[in-house]
Amino acid sequence: MINKQPDPFFHKLRPRLVSAKPAPPAPGLLETSVAVLLAPGPSGLEVLFIRRAERAGDPWSGHIGLPGGRREGGDAGLLDTAIRETREEIGVDLAPGALLGALDDLAPSIPSAPPLMIRPYVFGVSPRPRAGVSEEVVCSYWVPLGSLHGARDSAKVSVREKILDVPCFRLPELPEGLVVWGLTYRILNGLLPLV
């Protein structure tokens, strides 16, 4: 189980995340959460991205994202959801002690997206865990957070048979043609000023 984070940077980040304001559950919205995993790496602090498996009917099929998903009945809260989903999707078992805090809740900005609210939880892990694959995740990538600063761009993406021009991070650590956009882009945009 990944628990404590000896890296002194995590102690500086924790107070900055306390100010995030989770929204109360809204009627009709699906409650979801994701785990933003940060770890010290050879090039400084790194964040873990996953590539979702391609599945019919999944609006995030094949996208770059973060481990997470929908709250289930056995989850005591959205933190439990993020921990459970991370274990199920990539085999990383996070302990609540690795939690640094939460970012502000978000909802999709594309009208055709499912009606959901997503709560990003930030975890500090050290040493960097090895992320596996599952039916939902085909690959994972540890990317230096510093790479994001100069990687803002735009991309054309297909959303329910429509082509949209969206802001994104275009990262050299990702395979050609894959970008970080949508909710994942917005989550990382919210994290970067705190780092």
- Could you report the per-residue pLDDT of 69-123, keeping only the tens digit for each? 999 999 999 999 999 999 999 999 998 789 999 998 888 776 666 778 899 999 9
Taking only the tens place, the pLDDT of each residue in 173-186 is: 898 889 999 999 99
Domains of the chain and CATH, by start? 8-148 (3.90.79.10)
Instruction: Compute the Cα dihedral for 98, 119, 158, 189 and give only its sign.
Output: negative
DSSP string, 95-164: -GGGEEEEPPPB--SSTTS-SEEEEEEEEE-SSPPPP---SSEEEEEEEEHHHHHT-EEEEEEEETTEEE
pLDDT at 87: 97
Angle at 119 between CA 103 and CA 135, to 5 degrees: 125
Cα of first residue to Cα of last residue in the chain, in angstroms, is: 25
95 neighbors 86 (Cβ within 8 angstroms): no
**Helix, strand or coil, per DSSP, at residue 65:** strand
pLDDT at 43 over 50: yes
Instruction: Report the pLDDT averaged over residues 148-160.
Output: 86
Buried/exposed 178-189: b ≥16 CB within 10 Å, e otherwise: bbbbbbbbbbbe
This prediction has a pTM of 0.89
Q: Which of 8-17, 66-75, 95-104, 139-148 comes out lowest in average pLDDT?
A: 8-17
